Amino acid sequence: MERVGVFLCTGCDIGSSLKTDGLPELATGSGATHFAAHPCLCAPEGVASIRAAVDAGAVDGVVVAACSQRHKQAEFRFDPAAVQVERVALREQVAWTHVPGDEDTQALAEDLLRMGIVRARKMVPAKRRAEGVEQAVLVVGGGLAGLQAAQAAAGMGHPVVVVERSEGLGGHLARVREVVPDVPPYDRLRANPVPALARAVREDGRIRLLTGTRIVRIAGQPGQFAVEVEGPGGREELRAGAIVQATGARPYDASRLQHLGMGASPDVITSAELEPMLWRRELERPSDHQRPRRVVFVQCAGSRDQAHLGYCSSECCATSLRQVMAIHQDWPEVECAILYRDLRAPGQVEHFYRAVQEQSGVMLARGTVEGVVPAGAGLRVSVRDSLLGEKVEIDADLVVLATGMVPNSADGEAIRQLRDARARVARNESEAQRKAAEEVAAKLAHHDGTEILNLAYRQGPDLPVLEDGFPDSHYICFPYETRRTGIYAAGAVRAPMDPAQAAEDGWGAAMKATQLIAALGRGEAVHPRSGDFACADFFLQRCTQCKRCTEECPFGSLDEDAKGTPQYNASRCRRCGICMGACPERIISYADYSVDAVASMIKAIEVPDESEEKPRILALLCENDAYPALDDAAARRAAWNPWVRVIPVRCLGSVNIVWIAESLSRGIDGVILVGCKRGGETQCHYVKGSELAHKRLENVQETLTRLSLEAERVRVVELARNEMARIPALFDEFAQQLEELGANPLKGF
């Protein structure tokens, strides 16, 4: 922006910890055209003073030198089309955390101010995208979660299309008589609500049902999905603004559970196989069609077992309790036993658990079943780790294995690797390459034909999945979110869950989908940068088709043309800036966030001579977790080394290596990057950002060593949102380590 005004707040201890006399001059020196101080800038009078300057046309860029960007957002929000706002956190990073009036404190504040002014000057006005946004919601899967999502989205005024692969609605619950109670008093079976829901959806004029239908292709982006389906009536083109994937789960393949007697006797069945008997009200042993006198349920059959499913499927306990109750009601003379490792009856299911426990002829016992073998006319179940510490054996006429659930998902990234490998085989460029590709293709061949959504995305035709096949993106904060913007997962495909949770999921995902459609209508991103309407700009003339951005985007925003040039889909984009961090040509930028803007901020840091013995440290903090943690540390009046200059970044993944090179070449002694937890327990809001930053930094450290700079000058740290107490030590220890290393030898060059 050309006319940058600095508005200094002297409230909240800022005025008393700084010498403000020289600041107007400093602002002008840095290119600001306007300077004003106010004792309480967030008060109506203070805000009015900014507005007056804006309205008078005196400024088009505003530097609010007051509190952190996370506070007073409503007060300091101006029309982004007319004015750009940059926040300088003098309160958190100076007044509350450093010695008032100290020389180092003053230098810190002045640096921060210079950095803010430069950043504001580098900002350009963003244009709001205005494209047609399709209001319809596509729901994939007509089970409980899908039906609930369809009903919810329709209720919120959106047209809905439900695509269901099978002929009927209701999924696994279509032929279940009664379900675990989710209404008080929670102690008796409740009529299955799914048939009524399916009826309501069928009768709902706003919802179109396409059963016996599969998805051939989904192209485009949120707000403008072009969906091609194939059903009994042939192929058809649909439009959708957002997609809910509620494809549910299937029981774990029980044929692998031979250690639990599967295959050894026809009288060992799964809970899914018991269901039709309960539905028909014909309980019988498959071997002789006699009614069993005793049924033994084996919990965790293949779940919580690293050889099978590593996770708890969370609803098998409740299902067994339900089936026992159903057996007890219809055939009270049949004895039932449930053998469990831990009976998990979360929430109000506890009441139902108690009710089942008290039925006559029902026994629940803890232990790990280690064998089911035919014995005489029946079966013998042996149990270890019983509560008595002794082995236990129990005879049964029928054994029911409570198998866990496997998501009905497709591993989009694996399918893409498979396709790429096959393409390499076909190209047959070299013997070695072909061989390697053939190996990959063979290993991934089982993904063949698993496609569900058939997305026309460079990164693969389906949602990326987590370790266990669940297409979730970020397990802590964002349920329903997947790694494809505008496509939300609901129900058992997202995580193992019971019917009540699946229904709730349907609601949740529908709300996310409609929220997205509304945000796109305003030309804005969805969270975590909700309200942001500046998109990534690609200066494609300089693109070298290295494909780093298309590969590294966590959300599959970028497709490629035949040459490999990125094709940006703005409404798939979450504005994390990971492409900006990846780009070696630095051709990707945002109106308010760019490689150049941050590099200029780094240049605005005054680096004293080595003789002054005042090192400088650049700290790049992820604005999702680390920066809020810093604010919290400041609010608790933590104190840390005054040589640290903090710049918030959208994600550690958006950190371009050139910033580190710039810092070190300017004589800054060290750079510390603080981002989210990564790995299996990732807390990165953009899934891959923290991981990528670590990988890129390893390369940087190698380069540093080659340049005879100590690799220790650059450090990446993981910090969780609640670890504000670690921050002072983090900075202080790094500063101490840099002191031990000595000054950056590039100082003064």
Partner 1 sequence: MASAIEISPGRSFREEILRRGGGDAVRCYQCATCSSVCDLATSDMAFPRRQVLWAQWGLADRLLADPAIWLCHQCNDCTARCPRDARPGDTLQAIRSLAIERLGAPRFMARLVGRAGATWPILLGLPVLFWALLIQATGGFARATAPLSYTHVVPTWMIYVVFLPAGAFALAAAAVGARRSWAAWGRGATRSGGLLRGLRGVAGEILAHRRFAICGAARPRRLAHFLLLSGFAGALLTTSFLGVAMDGLGVKTPLPQIHPIKILGNASAVLLAVGVVWLLASRLAHPRAAGTSRGFDGFFLALVVLLVFSGIGAELGRLLLSPGPALALYVLHLGMVLALFLTFPFSKFAHALYRTLAMAHERLTEQRRPS
Nearest-CA neighbor of 138 among 127, 128, 129, 149?
149
| Dihedral angle, C-alpha 50, 55, 57, 58, nearest 10 ° | -20
Choose the binding region for partner 1 from 165-173, 358-366, 488-496, 720-728 (rule: CB under 8 A).
358-366
Q: DSSP for 48-79?
A: HHHHHHHHTTS-SEEEEESS-TTSSTTTT---
Write down the least CB distance from residue 264 to partner 1, Å: 19
Choose the binding region for partner 1 from 123-131, 385-393, 453-461, 559-567 (rule: CB under 8 A).
385-393
Residues β-bridged to residue 589: 537
Closest CB to partner 1 among residues 277, 362 = 362
Write down the least CB distance from residue 358 to partner 1, Å: 6
Residue 366 interacts with partner 1 (CB under 8 A): yes or no? yes
Closest CB to partner 1 among residues 7, 186 = 186
Q: Which of 388, 540, 725, 729 binds partner 1 (CB under 8 A)?
A: 388
Residue 329 interacts with partner 1 (CB under 8 A): yes or no? no
Dist CA 413 CA 465 (whole Å):
8
Closest CB to partner 1 among residues 340, 533 = 340
Dist CA 551 CA 555 (whole Å):
10
Residue 203 interacts with partner 1 (CB under 8 A): yes or no? no
Helices within 126-255 (DSSP H only): 144-155, 194-203
Dist CA 439 CA 710 (whole Å):
41
Write down the least CB distance from residue 374 to partner 1, Å: 16
Closest CB to partner 1 among residues 300, 337 = 337
Q: SS3 letters for 165-206?
A: CCCCCCHHHHHCCEECCCCCCCCCCEECCHHHHHHHHHHCCC
Write down the least CB distance from residue 270 to partner 1, Å: 22
Is residue 510 within 8 Å of 424, Cβ to Cβ?
Answer: no
Residues in Cβ contact with 141 at an 8 Å cutoff, skipping those fewer than 6 apart = 162, 163, 164, 165, 171, 245, 246, 247, 248, 408, 491, 493
Binding mask 451-480 vs partner 1 (x if CB under 8 A, - otherwise)? ------------------------------
List the structure tokens of 731: 């900075």
Residue 348 interacts with partner 1 (CB under 8 A): yes or no? no
Closest CB to partner 1 among residues 325, 543 = 325
Write down the least CB distance from residue 737 to partner 1, Å: 50
Dist CA 265 CA 253 (whole Å):
17
Helices within 331-465 (DSSP H only): 349-357, 412-427, 431-444
Place of tokens 């049902």: 209
- Residue 364 phi/psi, 5° resolution? -120, 130
List the structure tokens of 103: 């020389």
Instruction: Kindly provide the b/e burial profile for residues 594-604, where b requires at least 16 CB atoms within 10 angstroms of the residue's own CB.
Output: bbebbbbbbeb
Residue 362 interacts with partner 1 (CB under 8 A): yes or no? yes
Residue 335 interacts with partner 1 (CB under 8 A): yes or no? yes
Q: Which of 77, 354, 542, 636 binds partner 1 (CB under 8 A)?
A: 354
Helices within 342-386 (DSSP H only): 349-357
**Site for partner 1, residues 37 to 66, rule: CB under 8 A:** none
Closest CB to partner 1 among residues 335, 451 = 335
Is residue 264 within 8 Å of 254, Cβ to Cβ?
Answer: no
List the structure tokens of 622: 């992820």
Write down the least CB distance from residue 266 to partner 1, Å: 23
Closest CB to partner 1 among residues 391, 636 = 391
Is residue 702 within 8 Å of 648, Cβ to Cβ?
Answer: no
Q: Which of 365, 518, 546, 711 binds partner 1 (CB under 8 A)?
A: 365
Dist CA 574 CA 483 (whole Å):
10
Closest CB to partner 1 among residues 350, 429 = 350
Q: Which of 357, 368, 515, 665 binds partner 1 (CB under 8 A)?
A: 357
Residue 86 interacts with partner 1 (CB under 8 A): yes or no? no
Give the binding-site size for partner 1 (rule: CB under 8 A): 22
Residue 363 interacts with partner 1 (CB under 8 A): yes or no? yes
Choose the binding region for partner 1 from 48-56, 354-362, 580-588, 598-606 (rule: CB under 8 A).
354-362
Element (H, E) at 117: helix 103-122
**Site for partner 1, residues 286 to 305, rule: CB under 8 A:** none
Binding mask 390-409 vs partner 1 (x if CB under 8 A, - otherwise)? xxxxxx--------------
Is residue 730 within 8 Å of 593, Cβ to Cβ?
Answer: no
Residue 317 interacts with partner 1 (CB under 8 A): yes or no? no
Choose the binding region for partner 1 from 16-24, 246-254, 356-364, 729-737 (rule: CB under 8 A).
356-364
Q: Binding residues for partner 1, per CB under 8 A?
A: 335, 337, 354, 357-358, 360-366, 382, 386-388, 390-395
